[in-house]
DNA sequence: AAAGTGCATAGACATATGTCATGTCCCCAG
DNA sequence: CTGGGGACATGACATATGTCTATGCACTTT
């Protein structure tokens, strides 16, 4: 049950669990599923039956307008929980789709509810994760609503760098992440063509080097200034 | 303690509370404060000491870029809770400002934490409120990122109409709400000038009538279609 | 009544971003 | 090794949105 172990670890990072709480989670039913890139993990308006723990690979959540344009709402990285709202809502309010081959542990919401009723520390941890995610939503709203294309792209790259590498920063802040320019655009409220222009400009200024899915941010401090990036919204200290 | 009564009522709408849970909340320390329009209720990066219950008047939360442009993140209506994230974060991740004369009941986060540890139904209710708010964040992200100005304005007006009047719809879906065009722009990632253009266009099409702070939406169905508005994200059924 | 303030309106113009078409490269299926 | 599809790159052009300026109206303050 790799998913359950990951969940316990994330919860313990927020607040220590007592023996019973830990045991309760570890005994849960957890189905591990694997999805090819592009496949739907959960769909908007489905019944909100499961929450998930990302085990390996990447996913993202999104919504669409009736005319079909897509807005990516969040990126889901290994170790992160997804669709926690399902514990509280009856219908999914967004879809979740695999970005790469993606394996996820699914736990039934009713099981989670039971654990949370019996163990307040679990309830507290789950809600804290929801609050962390909310902080990111808020920063994204600011990014999409109030920054120009170059700043938006830079900001997103900074966020991914921090979220992927945590504190363990490589010298040139490099990371592998398989987003296409179209997906970057969908996350930022831009078109792929314009993302291309913005990235070209960042490249010309020496702020970004890209080799396929490998991104390098050789001038971290300069990029943070340009993109108005400050990682406080990710650390929540 | 009007704030506490309101909080109990909102929680009970989510899930019935038992006698002890209700009594616990009603016995809480709750400071009622009143703010003139424009005053800050809570500031980003402040210590996250309090959550609030909006008693009367309106408020909004927002973030700013370093260059000073402001993004309004949410509107806070009477009866709604605000800054619930403070229970889980140590620092505020956005500011909250009064939109009109605004009175709010403030409860210390530690008190809330205590109630939630003792009464799982309270924890469940608070988290459900967080999840409701998240649903709105997601729809706003879609609105800001993927709809044009006219759709955005229409969508926001539809949302306010539904949230203010609930199901009790007046014939012409009219409501009083004191947003200036600049504030509408800040909520939608637009400039005031462009909001003006969008509203003019809605007016010309007979979809909007405005008299000071009174908005009328005489062609509700047509406006919903134009603005791609669907209230599911507000009802969470 | 006069002056001042805040907001809505409007037009001219600037610019950021979108749209579309094309070409290249590279990887993978055959 | 070969053909085709996907992603990236780039340029010409269209358009949505921003910027700036000016005006008028309703209110408040004096």
Q: Mind listing the pLDDT tens digit for each residue in A140-180?
A: 999 999 999 999 999 999 999 999 987 667 778 899 999 99
CB contact (8 A) between residue B93 and residue A64: no
Kindly tell me the sign of the dihedral angle through the C-alpha atoms of A7, A9, A12, A14.
negative
Residue A170 has a pLDDT of: 75
A172: tokens are 């040139």
| Residue B56 to residues A32, A68, B43, B53, Cα–Cα distance (Å) | 48, 39, 20, 9
Residue B94 has a pLDDT of: 97
> DSSP for B138-154?
HHHHHHHHHS-HHHHHH
Nearby residues of A210 by Cβ (< 8 Å), 6 or more positions away: A199, A203, A216
Per CB-CB distance under 8 Å, the chain B contacts of A137 are: 134, 137-138, 141
Query: What is the domain partition of chain B in residue ranges?
Result: 2-140, 147-234
Whether the CB-CB separation of A46 and A91 falls below 8 Å is answered with yes
* Interface A-B: count of C-beta contacts within 8 A: 160
Residue B237 has a pLDDT of: 66
- Per CATH, B2-140 and B147-234 having the same topology is answered no
Nearest of A155, A164, A188, A235 to residue B66 by alpha carbon: A155
Q: Which helix (H) or strand (E) holds B31?
A: strand B31-35
Q: What is the mean pLDDT of residues B147-173?
A: 91
E-state strands within chain A = 31-35, 40-42, 50-56, 59-64, 70-76, 81-82, 95-98, 102-108, 175-176, 209-211, 214-216
User: In whole angstroms, what separates CA B208 from the centre of its chain?
Assistant: 22
Share of chain B above pLDDT 70, in %: 98
Mutate to test the interface with B, among A138, A147, A182, A191 (most CBs of B within 10 A): A138
* pLDDT, mean of each 10-residue run, chain A (237 residues): 91 96 96 95 94 97 97 97 97 96 97 97 97 98 98 98 83 92 98 98 97 94 97 87
> DSSP for A8-57?
HHHHHHHSPPPHHHHHHHHTS--EEEEE-TT-EEE-TTSB--EEEEEEES
Chain D nucleotides close to protein (CB under 7 A) are: 6-12, 16-21, 27
Q: Mind listing the pLDDT tens digit for each residue in B37-64?
A: 999 999 999 999 999 999 999 999 999 9
Residue B1 has a pLDDT of: 67
Q: CATH number of the domain at B147-234, out of 3.40.1080.10, 3.40.640.10, 1.10.10.10, 3.40.630.10?
A: 1.10.10.10
Residue B98, exposed/middle/buried by CB under 10 A (0-12, 13-18, 19+)? buried
Q: Which residue of A has its CA nearest to B131?
A: A85
Kindly tell me the sign of the dihedral angle through the C-alpha atoms of B112, B115, B118, B124.
negative
For A73, the closest of B93, B138, B236 (CB atoms) is: B138
Q: Which residue of A has its CA nearest to B235?
A: A89
Nearest of B125, B74, B75, B131 to residue A129 by alpha carbon: B131
A2-140 belongs to CATH 2.60.120.10: yes
């Amino acid at each position: 049950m790799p998913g359950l172990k990951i969940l316990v670890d994330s919860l313990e990072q927020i607040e220590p669990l007592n023996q019973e709480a830990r045991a309760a989670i570890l005994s849960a039913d957890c189905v591990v599923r694997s999805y090819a890139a592009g496949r739907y993990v959960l769909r908007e308006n489905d019944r909100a039956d499961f929450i998930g723990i990302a085990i390996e690979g990447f996913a993202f959540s999104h919504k669409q307008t009736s005319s079909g344009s897509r807005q990516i709402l969040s990126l889901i990285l290994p170790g992160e929980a997804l669709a926690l709202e399902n514990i509280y809502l009856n219908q999914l309010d967004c879809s979740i789709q695999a970005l790469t081959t993606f394996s996820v542990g699914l736990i039934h919401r009713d099981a989670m509810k039971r654990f949370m009723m019996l163990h307040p520390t679990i309830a507290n941890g789950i809600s804290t994760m929801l609050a962390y995610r909310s902080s990111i939503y808020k920063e994204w709203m600011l990014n999409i609503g109030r920054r120009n294309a170059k700043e938006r792209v830079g900001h997103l790259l900074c966020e991914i760098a921090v979220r992927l590498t945590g504190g363990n920063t490589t010298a040139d802040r490099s990371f592998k992440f398989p987003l296409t320019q179209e997906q970057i655009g969908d996350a930022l409220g831009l078109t792929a063509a314009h993302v291309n222009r913005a990235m070209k400009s960042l490249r010309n200024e020496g702020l970004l080097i890209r080799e396929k899915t490998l991104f390098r941010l050789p001038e971290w401090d300069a990029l943070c200034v340009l993109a108005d990036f400050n990682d406080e919204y990710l650390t929540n200290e």
